[in-house]
Amino acid sequence: MMERNSELMEKIVSLCKRRGFVFQGSEIYGGLAGVFDFGPRGVELMNNIKQSWWKANVYDKENYFGLDSGMFKHPKVWDASGHTSGFSDPLAECKNCNARIRVDKELEKVGVTADEKMSEVEINKLFDSKREEIKCPNCGQKNFSEARAFNLLVKSNLGDFTSQGTDPVYLPGEACQGIYLNFKNILNTMSPKLPFGVAQINKAFRNEISPRNFLFRTREFEQADTQLFVKPNENKAAYEAIKEDRWNWYLSLGIKEENLRWSQHENLVFYCKEAWDIEYNYPTGFDEMEGIHDRSDYDLTQHMKHSGVDLNYTDPETNEKYIPWILETSMGLGRVFLAVLADAYHEEEMDGSTRTVLKLHKDLAPVRVAVSPLLKNKPQLVEKAREVFTMLKKEFGNVAWDDNGNVGKRYRRQDEIGTPHCVVIDFETLGEEDAKLKDTVTIRNRDTGEQERVHIDTLVEYLK
C-alpha cells in the first residue's frame, strides 16, 4: 500500500490531469475554487461507480425505488428542512491577510471538538480559549476576527425578475430533500409497503468556507443517497443491516478493508438521532466518505407542518396512520472516486523499471480492454486488430484502440489508467509462424504483467 501523505495526493492529482480523469473547473480562466470537471476517463470511472451503486441499491433489492428529482426546490423546503436557520459553519477572518478559516476545523486540529449545535457565543468562548494555539494557515499570524455562523446554502435568482433577492430559490444543500418531497407521490404510484426505500443520485452545492483536498471538500458535488422508510421504533435492526450492507459495497469495489473504518458522531447535526460515518484512509488520513443517519420522523414531520399536506402512511393491516421513520445513507461520489483512486494507485518495479499502475476493479476501469496491432505500419496486422477491436467494442463499449509507440510503452500507458487487459494482434495471429496459433492473440494482465495466448473465439468469455 502507498504511504498516506501529501505527496500521494499530488501524484493522484497530477495523474488525474495528465490522463484525462479530472480537471480544475474553468481552468482557462484561472480556475474556480471548489469545482472540478470530470474528463473522458473520469466520467467513465464515475459512471461505473454509479452503476455499481445503483445495482446494489435498486436492482439487487426488492423494495427500493429509483428517483431523479429536480435540483431546484420551493424556497419553503429549506425552511422546513432546517437548512436556512441551522446549516452553517463557524467562519473567522485573519485580520492580517483576510484568509477565511473554519473555526471548528481549526479547533479540531488543536484537539477540541466543537458541537455542531453550538451558538455563536458558545463557539466564540471555545475559540477565545484556544486563540494562542491557532495560526492562520495562510500567513501564520494569530490575529482573527470573532467567529460568525456562515450559512452554507447557495442562492440563485431562479424565477426572480426583480433582482431583490427575497425568498431566493436555493441550490440543494443536500440531495435527499427531493426524496422526502416525493414520498407521497411514491406512495400513490407504487403502493409500497413499509419498509421501503428510495435511491437517488443528485447534485448538492455548499458554500464551503475552505474547499480543500482535491475532490474531498468541494462546493459542487454529487451525492448518492438512499432513504429507507420504516415503521416507528423499527429502526434499530434495519440500521445495523444498512451499515453492514454499505460496508460490504465498498469491499465489492475492491477497496482494501484496512483502509476503511467506522466513526460514530458524538455531536449530531440537527436532523439526526444517530449517525455513523464510513471513513476512508485518504492521502490526508482517515476522513468521512459516507454518512449513515437515523433521521427518525424529523423530515416528514417538518414537511407536513410546513406544506400542510398529510404525509402519514396508512398501515394496510391495521389502518393505523403514522409518519414513517427514515434511515439514510448518503455518500459523496467525489469522495468515493478519490478513495477508489487512492486505493488503486501503486508504484512498483516491473521488468527493471518503476511503473505507475491503477489496480482498479475491472468493472470500474474507464477502459475495459485496449487493443493494438503489434506494428501499425503492417496493414494485415492492423486489419485483423480492427476486427478484434470492433468485436470487443460491441461487447464492452469502453474499449480503446492504442497503436502509439512500442508495445511496452502502450502497456505502461494503459497501466496508468487502470486498463485490466491489453490485447495485441501479432504475426502469430496471422498464422505466419505456426499455423496452430492462427487467430490467437496475446493478452496481457495489468496486475501480473503475464501474457497468455487466447483464441479470438474465446476472447469475450476470457475477459468476462
Quick count: other Cβ atoms within 10 Å of Cβ 237? 9
Query: Which C-beta is closer to ligand GAP: that of 203 or that of 321?
Result: 203
Query: Which C-beta is closer to ligand GAP: that of 176 or that of 370?
Result: 176
Single-letter amino acid code for the residue at 384: K
Q: Which stretch binds ligand GAP (CB under 6 A): 71-79, 121-129, 217-225, 374-382?
A: 217-225
Under rule CB under 6 A, residue 330 binds ligand GAP:
yes
Under rule CB under 6 A, residue 218 binds ligand GAP:
yes
Q: Which residues contact 352 (CB under 8 A, 6 or more apart)?
A: none
Binding mask 242-281 for ligand GAP (x = CB under 6 A): ----------------------------------------
Under rule CB under 6 A, residue 44 binds ligand GAP:
no
Q: Which stretch binds ligand GAP (CB under 6 A): 215-223, 246-254, 422-430, 442-450?
A: 215-223
* Binding residue (CB under 6 A) for ligand GAP from 172, 324, 334, 366: 334
* Binding residue (CB under 6 A) for ligand GAP from 11, 19, 41, 206: 206
With beta carbons less than 8 A apart as the criterion, state whether 366 and 39 touch.
Answer: no
Binding mask 335-364 for ligand GAP (x = CB under 6 A): x-----------------------------
Binders in 276-305 for ligand GAP, by CB under 6 A: 288-291
In angstroms, the CA 136 to CA 42 distance is 34
In angstroms, the CA 395 to CA 385 distance is 15
Query: Which C-beta is closer to ligand GAP: that of 8 or that of 272?
Result: 272
Q: What is the total count of residues that contact ligand GAP (CB under 6 A)? A: 18
Inter-axis angle of helices 40-54 and 236-252, nearest 10: 140
* Binding residue (CB under 6 A) for ligand GAP from 126, 176, 311, 370: 176
Under rule CB under 6 A, residue 208 binds ligand GAP:
yes
Query: Which C-beta is closer to ligand GAP: that of 283 or that of 334?
Result: 334
Query: Which C-beta is closer to ligand GAP: that of 289 or that of 392?
Result: 289
Angle at alpha carbon of residue 274, lines to 269 and 279, rounded to 5°: 80
Query: Which C-beta is closer to ligand GAP: that of 33 or that of 139?
Result: 33
Query: Which C-beta is closer to ligand GAP: that of 230 or that of 289?
Result: 289
The CB-of-375 to ligand GAP minimum distance in angstroms stands at 46
- Position of minimal CB gap to ligand GAP: 332
Q: Which stretch binds ligand GAP (CB under 6 A): 111-119, 216-224, 240-248, 376-384?
A: 216-224
The CB-of-332 to ligand GAP minimum distance in angstroms stands at 3
Under rule CB under 6 A, residue 217 binds ligand GAP:
yes
* Binding residue (CB under 6 A) for ligand GAP from 44, 106, 174, 428: 174
Cell numbers that stand for 438 in this block: 492462427
Task: Work out the end-to-end distance of the chain between its first and last CA atoms, rounded to an integer number of angstroms.
Answer: 27
Under rule CB under 6 A, residue 415 binds ligand GAP:
no
Q: Which stretch binds ligand GAP (CB under 6 A): 74-82, 127-135, 331-339, 399-407?
A: 331-339
Binding mask 417-436 for ligand GAP (x = CB under 6 A): --------------------
Single-letter amino acid code for the residue at 413: R
Under rule CB under 6 A, residue 197 binds ligand GAP:
no
With beta carbons less than 8 A apart as the criterion, state whether 178 and 70 touch.
Answer: yes
State the residues that interact with ligand GAP by CB under 6 A: 174, 176, 206, 208, 217-218, 221, 223, 288-291, 328, 330-332, 334-335
